[in-house]
Amino acid sequence: MKLDILAIGVHPDDVELGCSGTLLNEKKNGKLTGIIDLTQGELGTRGSVETRYTEAAKAAEILGVAVRENLKMRDGFFKNDEVHQLLLIKAIRKYQPEIVIGNVLDDRHPDHGRAGHLIADACFLAGLSRIETFDDNGNTQPKWRPKFVLHYLQDWYHEPDLLIDISETFEQRMESIKAYGTQFFTDTSGEEGPQTYISTPDFLDSVIARARMLGKRIGVKYAEGFITEKKIGIRNLDALVLVET
């Protein structure tokens, strides 16, 4: 299955927090979208591997993605090395996305930055024909390099290179985040269990505030921000977003 956009997160819920509004936008535009989770989030204080899979499936349904796959790397201990790069290269070649959106390159959680660099490196290496990988049937995979790799913002603020208006999809975006009832405070989850950095009502308030702040930067209600190491060009000025200021 060839995807237009592949979103990658080191933990289930990273994609929802970072770029789910953009995925919903692109889905509405007829694009085929998918998600890869690198780990099962097994080191999370709340919930379990089983509940994370259930919540991820619910979120995927809300987002309308064509596929969601988990590579089952070891949460907290995966490395940006040949073994893990080859595993991700195989997935990139399998789905042949035009655009990959992944974790930020530097963040409070060390898994985020390490995953961001792993994703960037694997996207580049996937385009080298002398790196050989095989599909599940043992066939040699053709090389494939996404045209663009974007990194969504996470805990630490980084000045974005690109802002995308998600005002029309914001409420659905928040529903996909709230699908992780063991991780985030919701009306039904309450505050049972050990409290964590992300399990209080204040955390979701900060998610909303970030989207509002980024939206204000471009004169819309809500936006998501992205970093890119590759310069993005446009063919004409009609591609610029027209916003009321």
Q: Indicate whether 244 belongs to any domain.
A: no
**Residue 163: CATH number of its domain:** 3.40.50.10320
pLDDT at residue number 244? 56
Q: pTM for the whole thing?
A: 0.94
From 183, 164, 148, 200, select the one nearest 59 (Cα to Cα).
183
191: three-class secondary structure by DSSP: coil
Q: Indicate whether 106 belongs to any domain.
A: yes
Question: Distance between CA atoms of 225 and 36, rounded to whole angstroms?
Answer: 20
Q: Indicate whether 211 belongs to any domain.
A: yes
Strands annotated E in the chain = 5-9, 33-39, 67-73, 99-102, 148-152, 162-165, 223-227
Q: Indicate whether 245 belongs to any domain.
A: no
pLDDT at residue number 234? 86
Residues of the chain with pLDDT under 50: 190, 245
**pLDDT of 94-147, one tens digit each?**
999 999 999 999 999 999 999 999 999 999 999 999 999 999 999 999 999 999
Which residues is 101 bridged to in the sheet? Answer: 7, 150
- The total of structural domains in the chain comes to 1
Q: Which range of residues forms the domain containing residue 198?
A: 5-239
Q: Indicate whether 131 belongs to any domain.
A: yes
pLDDT at residue number 243? 56
pLDDT at residue number 197? 77
**CA gyration radius for the chain?**
18
Q: Indicate whether 167 belongs to any domain.
A: yes
pLDDT at residue number 185? 75
